Structure 1
Amino acid sequence: MVSLEQLKLSKPLNSVMTELGYLNAKEIQARSMSRIIGGQDIIAVGPEGAGKTTTYVLATLMRIKYGFEEAPRALILVPTKEKVEEVMAQFELLNRNQTIRIVGIHADNSMENQVNELTDGCDIVVAVPSRARAVYLKLGLNTNKIQLMVIDDAAEMVKQGMQLPINELANSIQKCQHLVFTEVMHEKLEKMISAFMRFPTLIEVEDLGENQVETQPQLLYQVPNFRTKLNLLNLLLKDSEVFDKVVVFVNTRLTAQTLAKDLFDGKASDIFVYKPLFFDEAGFDDVEAFKAEPNARVLIVANEMLSDFDWKGIPFIFHFELPAQRETYLQRIIKQQDSEEVMAITFATDLELPEVRKIEQSIGQKLEIAELPDDLLIEETTKENASKKQLSKEEAEEEAFRKAAFHEKKKSNAKTSNFGAGEKAVMSKKKKHG
């Protein structure tokens, strides 16, 4: 453990942290604080509860030591009004310097009032990107003196499509230090921040909890998009000898119907939907009837329709989409006493990885990452293809800079299993259920 003193905080901050009962620094604070104080750009990756918010609040207060400047010197971007309020409360808890003025900006307050607050003078702005951009365009947010820009819950903001306001705000600042905090790092997030970060230091911490839960065997396939998920499921299910009885979970009944028609171009006679939307659709209203029918191989189930049932006779389950309620997923994969073994296979895009990390925290272990089959068709959007073809020399150099800025994946994230052409991998070891 690293003691609080080793963070080299100011005396007022060290005092208030001690009063609040913090005697030791969290790992993310111990590994990042000296670099932040030294002026480096940081990408800090850690799970919920790792101490990310406290880290950048302390760092901001170390940088902004006095108040009453005309224009803000720190801009903190967060995804929601609730997060704005959480960060403001953390500042209120840790800030003993009453001259430092902090303004929160989100859509629930009057823009006119927010512009007035900013023009009256403030030192730190905590804002939702879309509202901060709107205020900036009304000349209410002066970014000329920003020294520190923080992006918190960055993966969540990418998921919500906030890249444009974030990049516009970043581009409005001539030069400053950038801190990015996120639960996961993925390609879409890298693309967003590469526009304004240069050679950031990547710091990753893991906190899987002390209690490891016994689960069914699991595999995780990381894929770029929905269409690639479909291609992967098609490819795997072609092996009817291995995947002889399968349940596939999706989030809605409409998705279940669509998936049933898309798999094998709707020509397979052994794929059914659980409680289909339309009376003339092939399906089952009872899982036991599906198990008993030898000509039924795949049952597609909407998470909203079925939370728990007896897995006996079902050797494989696929989570094509992660359920909205994490508890639903956990109920399926946590091993119960005397339960039969079920291989749980999960598909996740970049935008679903934060939820995967929360699942790993809940069970106290990492999901084993499976290598994508060599013959899998990886779908790419037309826009992405076009941008790759039109890279100028300058853009190619920017891309080289971006790649250089990020480290290789940790060993814990390395791909360890393969289910490709001619290879059954760990799945082929499953016992068949008659």
Structure 2
Amino acid sequence: MSLDKLKLSKSLVTAMNDAGYISAKEIQAKTMSRIIGGQDIIAVGPEGCGKTTTYVLGVLMRLKYSTDEAPKVLILVPDQERVLAVIEEFRLLSKNRNLRIIGLYGTGGMDEVIQELLDGIDIVVATPTRARAVYLKLGLNLNRLQMLIVDDAEVIVKQGMQLPVCELARSAGKVQHLIFTTVVHDKLNLMIDQFMNFPTTLEVEDLGDSKAITHELLLYQVPNFKTKVNLLNLLLRDDEVFDKVVIFVNSRLTAQKLGKTLHSAKPGEVSVLKPLFFDEEGFDHIEDFKDTPEARVLVIANEGSANVDLSGIPFLFHFEVPEQKELFLSRVVKSDSEEIVAITFATDMELVDLRKIEQSLGAKIPVMDLPEDLVIDKVAKASTKIKTVKETVDAPKGGGAFHDKKESNTKDYNYGIGQKAKMTMKKKHG
């Protein structure tokens, strides 16, 4: 899409061209008119889709020159690195303007930044905790604020900084709110609902042009760790289908914990690869697991497991989404004719890493319905949802674990995992 269709000022179009931006991104095409129009929005898109540039352009279009001392725009980001990156983007696209901008991050003394704020600032880019600290010292005046922007909102939630975000937002009063995030889930909605009413949610997907050839991939979205354990025990009851299974977790400590938590009807059914303690059921080499008939389930920590030979293992479970997407890709991208089903469990907090994996795969992983007899741990399950005005055209629904599915993902059947596995794989049992 041409930059001209964003209805930017001539100076901004020139600045964009000088910075190497030739055409508009999809997220800019969907959101720019709403941002300029003063609407509250939640913009959802993958990493690299142009979210930061989108709100920088929106701010530069809406911000009018004035000599007021109080800032007009407050942008909250997770860390110092993002603060500096956002400031750099503003400087790149506002070369012809005398823009007063400051970054707030870190800890320690704040007399110098408070004095700079008092001298007059247009835009504040800050981490939530630092902005709140300066505000409580009466150094950050929110009385003239026009726009409050939260970028990388899912990371802010993951780092537990919801409280300062909500306090600042409520203190700012009636302003335009812009939320930019990679995913939407219940915990994020709980934060947003504290200060936003009926925002418009706009979502874009950028899965790349190439699609990887993978084994059968399935995804279960669950609320918490305990529900993952319940789901795994429920699925593994079918020992006729799941006759040899490898389960990946992120740490050896979790492997030890999970190995003791999984149900086993027979001695030696569940074991750990390279267990932490000598008296645990386990193997030092995966080949020993393959050669032991009574060994059915092997739990492996991702730490140091990059070169594990998975040949001959028909079922892989990613009980936790790997912190390094390359590990996941190395296990699921097809390199031979062997048939494997790779099943992933993901909580809300893991959806960000999962989206990065899907970007690399070039496709969404199909989401399975949770079994009706699954016991869902309710302690960590959030039920409050934000009221949103969704787009009815071009804006797909969905995002979090317990949100509406897209029409393409809905179905009028509900195969169990065992039945689906039997249909997609030739089992030796017949």
| Alignment partner, residue 256 of structure 2 | 257
Distance, in Å, in 2 between the alignment partners of 1:184 and 1:22 is 25
| Alignment partner, residue 338 of structure 2 | 340
1:80-124, Cα deviation, whole Å (9 max, x unpaired): 110001001000100134432000010167422222221121010
1:312-333, Cα deviation, whole Å (9 max, x unpaired): 2210000001222111111111
| Alignment partner, residue 304 of structure 1 | 303
| Alignment partner, residue 396 of structure 1 | none
Per the alignment, do residues 266 and 65 of structure 1 end up closer, same or farther by CA in structure 2, a change over 3 Å counting?
Answer: farther
Q: For residues 146-225 of structure 1, what are the structure 2 equivalents within 5 Å?
A: 146-225=145-224
1:323 counterpart = 2:322: yes
Distance, in Å, in 2 between the alignment partners of 1:433 and 1:329 is 27
| Alignment partner, residue 393 of structure 1 | none
| Alignment partner, residue 360 of structure 1 | 358
Distance, in Å, in 2 between the alignment partners of 1:133 and 1:266 is 54
| Alignment partner, residue 272 of structure 1 | 271
Per the alignment, do residues 109 and 22 of structure 1 end up closer, same or farther by CA in structure 2, a change over 3 Å counting?
Answer: farther
Of structures 1 and 2, the one with the larger relative CO (CA 8 A, separation 6+) is: 2
Q: For 1:25, what is the secondary structure of its paired residue?
A: coil
1:314 counterpart = 2:326: no
Equivalent in 366, 373, 387 of residue 403 of structure 1: 387
State whether residues 249 and 255 of structure 2, in contact with CA within 8 Å, keep that contact through their aligned partners in structure 1: yes
| Alignment partner, residue 391 of structure 1 | none
Q: Which moved more, 1:291-300 or 1:423-432?
A: 423-432
1:244-290, Cα deviation, whole Å (9 max, x unpaired): 10000011111111101111289864000001111111100110110
Residue 65 of structure 1: CA displacement?
Answer: 2.6
Aligned length: 417
Per the alignment, do residues 63 and 298 of structure 1 end up closer, same or farther by CA in structure 2, a change over 3 Å counting?
Answer: same
Q: For 2:387, what is the secondary structure of its paired residue?
A: helix
| Alignment partner, residue 102 of structure 2 | 103
| Alignment partner, residue 373 of structure 2 | 375
Equivalent in 404, 422, 429 of residue 424 of structure 2: 429
**Counterpart AA for 1:293:** T
TM-score normalised to structure 1 length: 0.91
| Alignment partner, residue 113 of structure 1 | 112
Distance, in Å, in 2 between the alignment partners of 1:188 and 1:211 is 32
| Alignment partner, residue 409 of structure 2 | 414
| Alignment partner, residue 281 of structure 1 | 280
Distance, in Å, in 2 between the alignment partners of 1:346 and 1:41 is 34
Distance, in Å, in 2 between the alignment partners of 1:148 and 1:372 is 40
| Alignment partner, residue 91 of structure 1 | 90
State whether residues 224 and 381 of structure 2, in contact with CA within 8 Å, keep that contact through their aligned partners in structure 1: no
Q: For 1:370, what is the secondary structure of its paired residue?
A: coil
Q: For 2:262, what is the secondary structure of its paired residue?
A: helix
State whether residues 223 and 381 of structure 2, in contact with CA within 8 Å, keep that contact through their aligned partners in structure 1: no
Q: Which moved more, 1:105-114 or 1:369-378?
A: 105-114
Per the alignment, do residues 162 and 322 of structure 1 end up closer, same or farther by CA in structure 2, a change over 3 Å counting?
Answer: same
Q: For 1:272, what is the secondary structure of its paired residue?
A: strand
Per the alignment, do residues 229 and 406 of structure 1 end up closer, same or farther by CA in structure 2, a change over 3 Å counting?
Answer: farther
State whether residues 200 and 388 of structure 2, in contact with CA within 8 Å, keep that contact through their aligned partners in structure 1: no
Residue 420 of structure 1: CA displacement?
Answer: 4.0
Residue 29 of structure 1: CA displacement?
Answer: 0.3
| Structure with the higher fraction of residues in helix conformation | 1
State whether residues 311 and 340 of structure 1, in contact with CA within 8 Å, keep that contact through their aligned partners in structure 2: no
State whether residues 155 and 185 of structure 1, in contact with CA within 8 Å, keep that contact through their aligned partners in structure 2: yes
State whether residues 325 and 357 of structure 2, in contact with CA within 8 Å, keep that contact through their aligned partners in structure 1: yes
Distance, in Å, in 2 between the alignment partners of 1:382 and 1:222 is 14
State whether residues 270 and 297 of structure 2, in contact with CA within 8 Å, keep that contact through their aligned partners in structure 1: yes
**Counterpart AA for 1:345:** I
Q: For residues 379-390 of structure 1, what are the structure 2 equivalents within 5 Å?
A: 379-381=377-379
CA RMSD between the two structures: 2.1
Q: Which moved more, 1:60-69 or 1:251-260?
A: 60-69
State whether residues 368 and 415 of structure 1, in contact with CA within 8 Å, keep that contact through their aligned partners in structure 2: no
Residue 418 of structure 1: CA displacement?
Answer: 4.3
Per the alignment, do residues 98 and 268 of structure 1 end up closer, same or farther by CA in structure 2, a change over 3 Å counting?
Answer: farther
Stretches of structure 1 lacking an aligned partner (at least 5 in a row): 389-398
1:124-145, Cα deviation, whole Å (9 max, x unpaired): 0000001111111111111111
